[in-house]
Amino acid sequence: MCNNKLIIAAAGSGKTTYLVNQAKSIKDQNVLITTYTEANEGEIRKKFNGRIPKNITIQTWFSFLLQHGVRPFQSSLNDELHNKKIGFFLTDKCSTKYKGSNGKTYSWAKGNNFYQYYFTSKEGLKICSDTIADFIVSSNEEMNSEVINRIARIYPYIFIDEVQDLAGWELEIIKLLFGSSSKILLVGDPRQVTYLTHHPTKYKKYKDGKVNDFISQECAKNICEIDAITLSKTHRNNQIICDFSAKLFPSFEKCEPCNCEKCRQGVDHEGVFLIKECDIESYIKQYPKVTILKEKEAVFPNWNYGKSKGLTFERVLIYPTKDIKKWIKDNTQQLAESTRCKFYVAITRAKYSVAIVYDYNDDEEFEGITKWKTE
């Protein structure tokens, strides 16, 4: 029986509930549930209704890496760190690069520039989010695998949510955990890569949520089961929304709506619609429970595409980018991977209807989309 499993989860499939139920079923051993964002950590905590069993720890990914990956053996790579307090610095940039006096960009060499490579500074001593996993892997090598072995002794079960957000050296940590005594459960959706923990050169070809390819090509054979069935049904989206969102990722198995009676109560106005700019006011008046989604700079109660991940709305009204508009007109048009994922997230927030702001010509036809007009 394989100790490790990756579950590819459809949007709205109930993956957080599944993770929590799996954790609750383990009574006599410690379980770690970790996820990238603080928002998702909060959603996981909510599922326990204020009663988290003592054997279950819920922690953000970077908090876990700092506490259990860096600090226990922090002087393994440099004796000067022995009695130091190491902090953490979250960055979305490459912290190992710097500009020289000539204006050119250079990279710090890990061997010769230890503090510049891993930390904000020798004095501040905050380890950077894009180098922390590299530090842990190097420390683990120096300590003859004791970093990973210690984690496995503390947590016989490790559940990683939103695994598609991990990249680079973090994938190497997953690979090392697979080889430990812990049972590893990974859950995620490669179509929903809206946050990358960093932008590495290590395992670069797997950075856009291709964790299943990483497991198949870089890890030992049969070390991790890949399950695309258990969470393949969505309890959120209807058939029309499923069909439309599937066009963004034709190489993936299409998500299908569940058959739950409580999820499939028929309502008026279901599907995917194009709305002209001049009709927005009328549309919102007719469907006041609609939530507006924008690529960025949304102000509450509106949401940005990426920030809406994990949320469910009855109806959404999406303001598309220029590239998304081109794709709507012609699905063969190229979309940047990040744009594709964020648009997918925006579409799949809706239970009943997706409206997209698009000034179409009356003679244009769009497969799978209805043109909405003020009656």
pLDDT in tens, 322-373: 999 999 999 999 999 989 999 999 999 999 999 999 999 988 889 889 999 8
In a 10 Å sphere around its CB, with 0-12 CB exposed, 13-18 middle and 19+ buried, how is residue 40 labelled? buried
Q: Would the pLDDT of 48 be above 90?
A: yes
The amino acid at residue 97 is K
Q: What pLDDT does residue 215 have?
A: 95
Q: Would the pLDDT of 275 be above 90?
A: yes
pTM of the model: 0.88
Least confident span in 97-106, 170-179, 266-275: 97-106
Distance CA 272, CA 249 (A): 17
- Structural domains in the chain? 1-231 (3.40.50.300), 233-372 (3.40.50.300)
Choose among 153, 21, 151, 175: nearest CA to 73: 151
Q: What pLDDT does residue 101 have?
A: 57
Contacts of 220 (CB under 8 A, 6+ apart): 178, 179
Q: Which two tokens stand for residue 193?
A: 């890569």
Angstrom CA distances, 244 to 240, 256, 292, 314, stand at: 6, 11, 19, 17
Angstrom CA distances, 203 to 163, 286, 305, stand at: 15, 49, 27
